[in-house]
Amino acid sequence: MLLHITNVLSAESLAYFHERLTAAPWADGRTTAGYQSAQSKDNHQLPESDPLARELGALVLEALGRNPTFFAGALPRHIYPPLFNRYAGGQQFDFHIDNAIRYDRSREPALPIRTDLSATLFLSDPEDYDGGELVIEDSFGTHAVKLPAGDLVLYPGSSLHKVLPVTRGARVASFFWMQSLVRDEAQRRILFDLDVAIQTLTQQAASDRPTLLSLTGVYHNLLRQWSEA
């Protein structure tokens, strides 16, 4: 499932991110890539241990915690601390698949996180740069994704994906991975569709409350059966 989540960050938050990241200590992004990925990766990245990365990453996590669509789609058990990258001057990242396991070394001992899902949170307005589309290939087909600043795309960590060359301006984004409570992608999709239907009925103040309660019970019973928590 490829899920577009709008307005994860507000305009005020985006302005703060832009201000802080303009003078950020960007480093060669290949230093955090595996051997195979490093051969095709050309970008800049904010070092994970940098205090700015930790500050802004915490703000991203706070915003995600307030977003019901993100929770419904990801059902996150563990989220790898958000990272930040920058593409400019023709930089790109050719087709690759993310590592199956990432180690969150901000914890002691380091926590292994299975990368069920990948996410990119766009921080630059699409009008400010040319190129830079995130191209994702999976069972759902091939999609080129270039979202408004503050929007996020959530997609399976097993997907083949790349970032096209940025030929004008700069593309700045946050990216991260998560281990879901529900490992199976098809089961997560069923739960997402059911959760969205329940939320819609609730917002519409459905008069048939017994049916709404029944659907809610089905959702939680499925989650109880499928989750690894």
- Residues flagged as binding site for Fe cation: 96, 98, 161
Which of 84, 70, 94 lies closest to 5, judged by CA? 70
41-73 b/e (C-beta count within 10 Å ≥ 16 → b) = bbbbbbbbebeebeebbebbeebbeebebbebb
Q: Residue with structure tokens 């990119």?
A: 120
The Cα 167–Cα 87 span in angstroms is 9
**Cβ neighbour number for residue 10 with a 10 Å cutoff:** 11
Q: Reduce the DSSP state of residue 127 to 3 states and report it.
A: helix
Which of 10, 26, 1 lies closest to 190, judged by CA? 1
Residues contributing to the annotated binding site? 96, 98, 161, 171
Q: Where are the alpha helices (DSSP H) in the chain?
A: 11-22, 35-38, 51-65, 68-74, 185-203, 209-226
One-letter amino acid for residue 105 of the chain: R
Residues contributing to the annotated binding site for 2-oxoglutarate? 171
Cα radius of gyration rounded to whole Å, the chain: 18
